[in-house]
Structures are given as structure tokens and as C-alpha cells.
Amino acid sequence: MTATVLRAARPYGGDPVDLVLRDGVVAEVLPAGTGSGSVVDADGLVALPGLVDLHTHLREPGREDAETVETGTRAAALGGFTAVHAMANTDPVADTAGVVEQVWRLGREAGHCDVAPVGAVTVGLRGERLAELGAMAESAARVRVFSDDGHCVSDAVLMRRALEYVKAFDGVIAQHAQEPRLTEGAQMNEGALSGVLGLKGWPSVAEESVIARDILLTAHVGSRLHVCHVSTAGSVEILRLAKERGLAVTAEVTPHHLLLDEELAATYDAVYKVNPPLRSKADVEALRQGVADGTIDAIATDHAPHAGEDKEGEWAHALPGMLGLETALSVAQLALVDTGLLDWAGVAERLSVAPARIGRLAGQGRPLSVGEPANVVLVDPAARWTVDPAALASKSRNTPYAGRELPGRVVATFLRGRATVLDGALA
């Protein structure tokens, strides 16, 4: 097989080398300019392990008008991802071996990146009885992450049973931390601004109380807990205490919670409506610090495409969620690298290594070393681009960054040595 040489690439932002990809692995790491094969000019580009998303909504089956596995994974590849975890809130819900295998096979057929289905914790996401966790784990999809995302597993007994059950196959429960009674009718972050705007508030304690309870359950059971889309300073503090106790608790934050804040709700533009809501500037700063010091393990997109009619109406009636796959790396650079909080090795840890480890994806999130899988993304950190919703690969257009200039651009993505993106376009 002809080798692909990533000429003068800078692994993790370090010194330039030639990365030689052959037979699906990194075959050689040579002084810049010495590798032989089909050359990709990577001079000035940062090389990172292919990105891994723990939290993607692909919408198929059921809402193919908003996204499909094909369009969603195209967007993922263009964003530098070589693997995504597809959330379970499809129609039908991914709560059986049959549905998770369907999503997994669609991902293989599309071929833009690996698709690891997330199984529902409870049947129909209804929070009443456990789904077929064991059958999904033993299926061809080999599910290891389970979540009712969009809904909280609010019943403590069910949560305990789920944590106990997944221990048998090293699974993890990814909790959408939202106490339902405290957030009935909530539209935005609870605070002075929600009062001014006349929108019912979503209080921080509704997230923090569930995280605290689940950490205690995890400690009692001795299982693995992952907290989805952390959004408050109080949550970061609770997670920090859990880490200090050495508990098997991990957490993610979205790019938009690292950059945007509640003041955007004052526009009443529903593109800024998400769940959990955009929080205060102090929360944003605490989340950034949580990523920088490792309290928050991963950055996950919560890519949530919606058809136009579901987002373009009044704020109160619009569905929560925004696109994230194609802008995640640029937002991470803007919020963390350009502010000096994280270097490129840190970005690789939060956007590739940690999510692969949490999701138990053995071939992803690996070092850029000889013999390792050739999952690589090349980034131009000096580039700047203006987000054009019409140019995005996603089937939906609900990006909060429309018309905004962002730093950094994915130039190429390689999945096991095969280019899925070259020169910023699908290969």
C-alpha cells in the first residue's frame, strides 16, 4: 500500500516531522522532508489524534429531516472527528440491540468516521424500567455508554440498578443531570436576567443536586459515572471533590458553554436555546478553569440538529439544541488555546484521548506514535473563517456562530490512514 506522508506536520504543536501513514497505522515518524510516498503538505499545521465526540445527535432513525447518519458523520469528519457516540433519543429510541446495530451499520456504510451508538438507560427514555443494557453491550455495536440524554434518570433506585448492571461489561452511565421538578417549564438560566425577560428560570441547583446524588450512588456501587454537558460553577466544584476522593466519575462540557453566556437569551433568538441553558459569565469562566485543571475530562459537542420549523418559531416553543461538530475545534482554540489555558496536547487530551477512554474505543484517542492507528487530524491554527450555515455539511442550520469569524480550520482528517477530508473538503 502506498504510504501517505504528512510532510512537516507538527504533532501536538511541537517540532515539524514527517508522519508516514501506511496500512492503517503510523508507520514511521521521520525528520521533516525525509519521508517517501504520497505527500500531503502539512507545513505549519498542527497534527492531533482524530477527535472523538462523546455526545452527538444523528437523529436517524426517525428524524431524517433534521439529520442522517450520512450527513452527521460528514459534518464530523469535516470537524476533525474520527469517531462519534450517537445519542439514543431517536425514533424508535435506541433501547434494543436491533436499533443500536442499525445505527452502527449505517455508520459503517457511510464510512466518514466510526459511529459508536449510545444505548438508552430506560425503555423509551421514560425512566420507568431498565432497557436491554446487556443485549446492547453484547450486540455487534458493543455499546459501552448508556444515556437517557434529554431526560434525567431521576429515580434513584433505577439509577443505582443501572450503575450496578453496567459493571459486568465495564459500561458507563452518562447522566443528563436535570432534576425534573425544579425545571418544569424552564426556558433559560435562572437569575436576574430571566426575571427581566419574563422567561422561567432553570436553576443551577437542578443540575448540581443530581450530580451530587449520582456521585454518592457511584461511590456506593463502585461503578462508572459520566456527567453530560456540565454547565455551572457549582457542578465543577462538586466534581472536583469527587475527583479528590478518587471516584470513577468523569464529565464533559460543550464548546458553546465554554464561549457563550445567558445574555444571548435577550435576543429571543431561539438558536441560543439549549439544554442545559447558557449560563452566567462566571459559570463560563469556571467551566474553562475546570477544563484547564482536568476536573472536566472532555469537551463534547452535544451536536443537536433541528429542522427549521423546530427552531425558527418563538423562543418558548422552539426545541433546545445547536449544531457543534464543524465548529468544536475552532471554539476550543478560541476559548482555551488562544486564552493560554490549554496547549494543543491539552486539546488532544480533552477532545480525543479522554472521550475515547471514557467510551472504551480501543482504536481511537491513541498517540501519534509508530504502530498506533493512523487516526489523525491536521489543523491550521493561523487560519480564520467565517461560519456560513449554508456551507455546513449538517442537514440543519441551527448554528449560533452564523456570520461569526472563528480561528483555526481543519485541513485534513484521516481515518485509519484513509483521508476523509483533504484541503478542507470531503475526500
Domains of the chain with bracketed CATH: 4-46+372-426 (2.30.40.10), 50-359 (3.20.20.140)
Q: How far apart are CA 359 and CA 224, in angstroms?
A: 11
Spatial separation of the C-alpha atoms in residues 379 and 348, rounded to whole Å: 12
276 annotated to bind ligand: no
Classify residue 301 as exposed, middle or buried by CB count within 10 Å of its CB (0-12, 13-18, 19+): buried
55 marked as binding residue = yes
pLDDT tens digits, 293-352 = 999 999 999 999 999 999 988 999 999 999 999 999 999 999 999 999 999 999 999 999
Helix ranges, 89-131 (H): 97-110
Q: Is 16 annotated as a binding residue?
A: no
Instruction: Read off the C-alpha cell for 32.
Output: 521533516
What pLDDT is attached to residue 197? 97
| pLDDT 10s digits, 170-222 | 999 999 999 999 999 999 999 999 999 999 999 999 999 999 999 999 999 99
**Burial of 185 (C-beta count, 10 Å sphere; 0-12/13-18/19+):** exposed
What pLDDT, on the 0 to 100 scale, is given for residue 313?
A: 84
* Separation CA 414–CA 420 (nearest Å): 6
What DSSP designation does 119 have? B
The reply, when asked if residue 217 is annotated as ligand binding, is: no
Tell me: is residue 58 an annotated ligand-binding position: yes
The three cell numbers of residue 153 are 434518570
Task: Give the single-character DSSP code of 277.
Answer: P
The answer to the question of whether 95 is labelled as a binding residue is no
Is residue 176 marked as binding? yes
Is 317 part of any known ligand binding site?
no
What is the DSSP pairing of strand 376-386 with strand 46-49?
antiparallel
Q: Give the integer Cα–Cα distance in Å for 335 and 288.
A: 8
Question: Grid coordinates 442522517 are at which residue?
Answer: 68
Q: Would you state the pLDDT for residue 377? A: 98
CA distances from 256 to 115, 120, 266, 376 (A): 23, 25, 17, 24
Residue showing cell 457542578: 235
Which CA distances in Å does 46 have to 125, 142, 408?
A: 41, 32, 10
The answer to the question of whether 189 is labelled as a binding residue is: no
Q: What is the model's pTM?
A: 0.98
Strand partners, 303: 56, 322
Q: 3-state class of 198 per DSSP?
A: coil
State the DSSP H helix or E strand holding residue 215, giving kind and residue range, or none if neither: helix 204-221
Query: What does the pLDDT read at residue 2?
Result: 87
Q: From residue 362, how far is each of 27, 86, 149, 367, 419 by CA, in Å?
A: 18, 17, 24, 12, 20
Residues 6+ apart with CB under 8 A from 106: 60, 68, 69, 70, 115
Nearest to 215 by CA among 205, 207, 224, 204: 224
The residues annotated as belonging to the active site are 302
Is 85 labeled as ligand-binding?
A: no
Question: In the chain, which residues have pLDDT < 50?
Answer: none
Interatomic CA distance for residues 136 and 99, integer angstroms: 9
User: Which three cell numbers, joined as nine digits, stand for 325?
Assistant: 461538530
Q: Is 306 annotated as a binding residue?
A: yes
Map grid coordinates 460528514 to a residue.
74
Q: Which of 315, 299, 348 is nearest to 46 (CA)?
A: 348
The residue with cell 440524554 is 149
The one-letter amino acid at 259: L
d(CA 231, CA 256): 10
Q: Are strands 298-299 and 376-386 parallel, antiparallel or unpaired?
A: unpaired
